[in-house]
Amino acid sequence: MAGTDDNITQQQSAAKPQKQPKQPKQPKPQQSGGGKKKEVKKETGLGLTNKKAENFGEWYSEVVVNGEMIEYYDISGCYILRPWSMAIWEIMQAFFDPEIKKMKIKNCYFPLFVSNTVLEKEKDHIEGFAPEVAWVTKSGESDLEIPIAIRPTSETVMYPYYSKWIRGHRDLPLKLNQWCNVVRWEFSNPTPFIRSREFLWQEGHTAFATKEEADTEVLEILELYRRIYEEYLAVPVVKGKKSELEKFAGGLYTTSVEAFIPNTGRGIQGATSHCLGQNFAKMFEINYENEKGEKAMVWQNSWAYSTRTIGVMVMVHGDDKGLVLPPKVASVQVIVIPVPYKDADTQGIFDACTATVNMLLEAGIRAESDARDNYSPGWKYSQWEMKGVPLRIEIGPKDLANKQVRAVRRDSGAKIDIGNDDLVVEIKKLLDNIQQNLFDVAKHKRDACIQIIHTWDEFVAALNEKKMILAPWCDEEEVEKDVKARTKGETGAAKTLCSPFDQPELPEGTVCFASGKPAKKWSYWGKSY
C-alpha cells in the first residue's frame, strides 16, 4: 500500500485531490495470552476527532470510515463499500426488488458500454451528461478506432432495443429494471455515497401505450422511494415535482423525494422518478401499432435510487459517537456484550450471552455477541456505538443473578433492565420504538428548519439561517435562473428543491417572492447537494 494513495491522487489530472480523512484509530489490542494475568483496561480512545455540529464535512468523512462503511480508494472519487454498508444496500434491495416484481417489472442487464453515436442521439440528454462521461479508448496496447463511453445512465443504451422489441400494442407495457453500477466522472467535491464517480443503483425503464399509465407508475415508484427513506432509513422526505430547470435532461417532468440535512442547511435529492414523455420515443423511434391499426408512439418513464440513500441516512442520524443505524436496515440489530468482573462466574456470563443471541436469532432478530477477550467491555461499547448498532445488551454478574439483561439504546442512551422471560417481546418492542423515534426526531429537526417566506429579504435571511425555504413562486425558469445568479456564493447558489405535492393554500393575490409576479405554487428552495 505504501505510497499508492499519494501517487494516484496526484495522477488525477483535472481532479481536485480528494480530502483523505484521518486514518481511523486502530483498536489497541490489550495484552492477551497471559492467562491469569489477563488485565481488562477500560480504555476507549475510539472517538471521532470531529464534531457533527462544528465540522460537519470532516465529521462525515470520519464517521463513514471509522464506522467501517467506507474505505477511501486510491482513485479519487471512488470508494470501497465495506460489508457494513453493503448489508444496508442489500436490505433495501430485499424490500424494493419484490415490490417492483409485484408491479410486473422484470430485471435485465444491459452493457456497461455505449457507443458515441447512440449516446448522442438525444441532444438535451447528452448535454446534461457529456462533461462527466468516462471514455474507453484503449484495450491492452491497442487503440480502439472509436472511443466507447461508460454508461452514466442507460436511457440511450436501452431504448434502441425498446424500439426493436415494441411492435404492437400487445408488447406494451414493457417494464424493465436493472441493478448495476454507473460512472459519472464529476470533479466537484467527491463525497462517499453522496457524490462518487462510480455508484450502485437500480434503474427502471418502462414504456406504456398511454400517458395516464406512465403518470400512475411515476407516483407508485415515488411512493416506494418514500418508503425506503421513511420506513427503512427513518429519514423524512418531501414528495414533489422538480422545476423545469432541475428536471431530468430530456424528460417531460421529474418527481423526487427530497431530504434535508439540518447541519449544513442543504436539501438533497433522495431519488427520482421521471416521466420521459415521448421525447426519447421520438428520437429512438419507439412506435407501435395500436388497437385500431394506427401507428402510435409510446410514453416512457425512468426512475432510480442509488447508494446515496446510505449517505443521507448517515448525515441525518449520525452523532459524535459515530453512526446511528435504524434497526430495519442494521445488519446487526442487537450486540450482546459480556461484562465479567474479577471474581464473577465468567463462563456463566458467556453462556448467557450465547443463549441470548440464540434466542434473538430464533425470533428473527439480527443479533451477535462480542466475546473477544482482548478488549474491555467499555472499549467494545464504544466500537459498537461507532458502528451504530441500535441496541446493546450487557450481561454482568448482577444480571446473571437477577435473570435479566441490561439493554442500552444507541439513539437515546437509555438503559433498560429486561427479565429473561420477556426478552424477545421487549427487544422487539424496543427496536420498533428506536425505529420510530429516529424518524420522529429527524422529522422534528427537519420541520424546525422549514421556513415559510414571502419576500426576497425574508428569503435571503432564511437562506443564511440554513433553512429549507417554502416560498410562493411564479414558476418561471428565468426567475429561478435569476435567483441562482443573485445567491451565488462560495457554498453554491440557492435553487428549487421541489414543488411539494402537498401544497399549502395559496390565497388569491399571493405574489412570487423573487419576481413579484402572481405566484402559481409553493416551492421548496435552498442550497443543495
Q: Which H helix or E strand runs over 377?
A: helix 377-386
Among 87, 334, 418, 519, interactor with its own copies by CB under 8 A: 87
Q: How far apart are the first and last CA of the chain?
A: 32
Q: Which residue has the cell 437515546?
A: 412
Q: Which residue has the cell 388497437?
A: 291
Which grid coordinates are listed for 497?
428543491
Task: Kindly tell me which of 66 and 435 has the beta carbon lying closer to its own copies.
Answer: 66
Which grid coordinates are listed for 35?
492467562
CB 501 within 8 A of CB 273: no
Among 19, 20, 52, 75, interactor with its own copies by CB under 8 A: 75
Task: Kindly tell me which of 26 and 347 has the beta carbon lying closer to its own copies.
Answer: 26
Based on the shown chain and the rule CB under 8 A, indicate whether residue 249 belongs to the binding site for its own copies.
Answer: no
Instruction: Please state, as a whole number, how many other Cβ atoms lie within 10 Å of the Cβ of residue 278.
Output: 16
User: Scanning residues 169 to 188, which ones bind its own copies (CB under 8 A)?
Assistant: 170, 176, 180-181, 183, 185
Kindly write out the interface string for residues 500-529 of this chain, putting x where it contacts its own copies by CB under 8 A and - elsewhere. ------------------------------
49's CB contacts (< 8 A; 6+ apart) are 22, 58, 62
Instruction: Please state, as a whole number, how many other Cβ atoms lie within 10 Å of the Cβ of residue 392.
Output: 21
User: Scanning residues 91 to 130, which ones bind its own copies (CB under 8 A)?
Assistant: 106-115, 117-118, 130
The span from the CA of 368 to the CA of 402, in Å, is 22
Q: Which residue has the cell 474505505?
A: 71
User: Scanning residues 209 to 238, which ones bind its own copies (CB under 8 A)?
Assistant: none
The span from the CA of 179 to the CA of 203, in Å, is 7
Task: Kindly tell me which of 91 and 359 has the beta carbon lying closer to its own copies.
Answer: 91
Helix (H, G, I), strand (E, B) or coil at 18: coil
Kindly write out the interface string for residues 1-40 of this chain, putting x where it contacts its own copies by CB under 8 A and - elsewhere. xx-x--xx--xxxx-----------x--x---x-------
Task: Kindly tell me which of 127 and 417 has the beta carbon lying closer to its own copies.
Answer: 127
User: Scanning residues 425 to 464, which ones bind its own copies (CB under 8 A)?
Assistant: none
Helix (H, G, I), strand (E, B) or coil at 261: strand
In Å, what is the CA distance from 13 to each residue of 136, 138, 145, 207, 351?
16, 18, 24, 41, 57
Among 16, 51, 167, 444, interactor with its own copies by CB under 8 A: 167
Task: Burial-class residue 179 by CB neighbours within 10 Å (0-12, 13-18, 19+).
Answer: middle
Task: Kindly tell me which of 280 and 284 has the beta carbon lying closer to its own copies.
Answer: 284
Task: Kindly tell me which of 267 and 377 has the beta carbon lying closer to its own copies.
Answer: 377
Stretch that binds its own copies, among 141-149, 238-246, 387-395, 510-518 (CB under 8 A): 141-149
Kindly write out the interface string for residues 270-309 of this chain, putting x where it contacts its own copies by CB under 8 A and - elsewhere. --------------xx-----x------------------
CB 84 within 8 A of CB 368: no
Q: Which residue has the cell 417532468?
A: 253
- Could you tell me the maximum CA-CA distance found in the chain, to the nearest angstrom? 88
Number of residues that bind its own copies (CB under 8 A): 79
Stretch that binds its own copies, among 34-42, 73-81, 214-222, 503-511 (CB under 8 A): 73-81
Task: Kindly tell me which of 11 and 436 has the beta carbon lying closer to its own copies.
Answer: 11
Closest distance of CB 75 from its own copies, Å:
5
Stretch that binds its own copies, among 161-169, 315-323, 425-433, 447-455 (CB under 8 A): 161-169
Stretch that binds its own copies, among 147-155, 294-302, 489-497, 513-521 (CB under 8 A): 147-155
Closest distance of CB 112 from its own copies, Å:
5
Helix (H, G, I), strand (E, B) or coil at 407: strand
